[in-house]
Structure 1
Amino acid sequence: MKRVFFLLLSVMVLSACSREEKKVENDFPLHMKVGNFEGINQDGETFSFSKLKGKVWVADFMFTNCDTVCSPMTANMAELQRQLADEDVDAQLVSFSIDPENDQPGVLKEYASGVGADFSNWDLVTGYKQEFIESFANKSFMAAAAKMEGSNQFVHSTSFYLVDEKGIVVQKYEGVSEPPYEQIVNDIKSIQ
Structure 2
Amino acid sequence: MKKLYITFVSLFVICIAIGIFYFTVYRQGKMEFPKKVVMETAWGEPYHFENMKPKVRLLEFIYTNCPDICPNTTFQMQKLREKLEQQNVFGNKVEFITITVDPRRDTREKLQAYAKTFGIKENDKGWLLLRGNEEDTKKVADSFNFQYRDPGNGMIIHSTITYLLDKNNRVVDTFGMGEKGFKQDDVYETIMKEIE
Please give the TM-score of this superposition, normalised by the length of structure 1: 0.75
- Aligned residues of 2:98 and 2:128 also touching (Cα < 8 A): yes
Return closer, same or farther for 1:58/1:113 CA change in 2, 3 Å cut-off: same
User: Which amino acid letter does the alignment assign opposite residue 135 of structure 1?
Assistant: K
* Paired residues of 2:98 and 2:129 also in contact (CA < 8 A): yes
Q: Percent identity?
A: 24
Q: Distance in 2 between matches of 1:65 and 1:33?
A: 27
Query: Are 1:184 and 2:182 counterparts?
Result: no
Q: Distance in 1 between matches of 2:194 and 2:136?
A: 29
Query: Which residue identity lines up with residue 164 of structure 1 in the other structure?
Result: D
> Counterpart of 2:21?
none
1:105 to 108, 111, 115: 108
Match of residue 87 from structure 1 = 87
Are 2:80 and 1:76 equivalent residues in the alignment? no
Label 1:184 to 1:52 Cα distance change in 2 as closer, same or farther (>3 A): farther
2:167 corresponds to 1:162: no
- Matched-pair contact (CA < 8 Å) for 2:77–2:184: no
Work out which of the two has the higher radius of gyration on C-alpha atoms and give 1 or 2.
1
Q: Distance in 1 between matches of 2:148 and 2:30?
A: 17
Deviations 1:140-159 (A, max 9, x none): 211112222x2112122222
Q: Which sits farther off after the overlay, 57-66 or 128-137?
A: 128-137
Root mean square deviation, CA, Å: 2.0
Shift in Å at residue 181 of structure 1?
A: 2.1
1:32 corresponds in structure 2 to 30
SS of the residue corresponding to residue 162 of structure 1 reads strand
Q: How much does 1:177 deviate? A: 1.7
The question of whether the paired residues in 2 share the 8 Å contact of 1:40 and 1:125 is answered with yes
Q: Deviations over 1:118-175 (max 9, x none)?
A: 533111101x22233223212x211112222x21121222222101111111111122
Partner of 1:116: 119
Counterpart residue identity of residue 62, structure 2: M
Q: Are residue 133 (structure 1) and residue 130 (structure 2) matched?
A: no
Matched, 1:49 2:49: yes
* 3-state SS in 2 of match to 1:43: coil
What is the DSSP-based 3-state SS (H/G/I as helix, E as strand, rest coil) of the residue aligned with 2:178?
Answer: coil
- CA pair 156-51 structure 1, distance change in 2 beyond 3 A: farther
Q: 1:95 to 1:49 in 2, by over 3 A?
A: same
- The structure with more helix, counted as a fraction of residues: 2
| Contact 2:59–2:98, Cα closer than 8 Å, also in 1 | yes
**CA drift at 1:43:** 1.9
Q: TM-score, normalised by structure 2?
A: 0.74
Give the Cα–Cα distance (whole angstroms) in 1 for the partners of residues 190 and 30 of structure 2: 17
Number of equivalences: 162
Gapped runs of 5+ residues in structure 2? 1-23
SS at match of 2:88: coil
For residue 131 of structure 1, what is the amino acid of its counterpart?
E
Distance 1:63 1:51 in 2: 25
**Structure 1: runs of 5+ lacking an equivalent:** 1-27
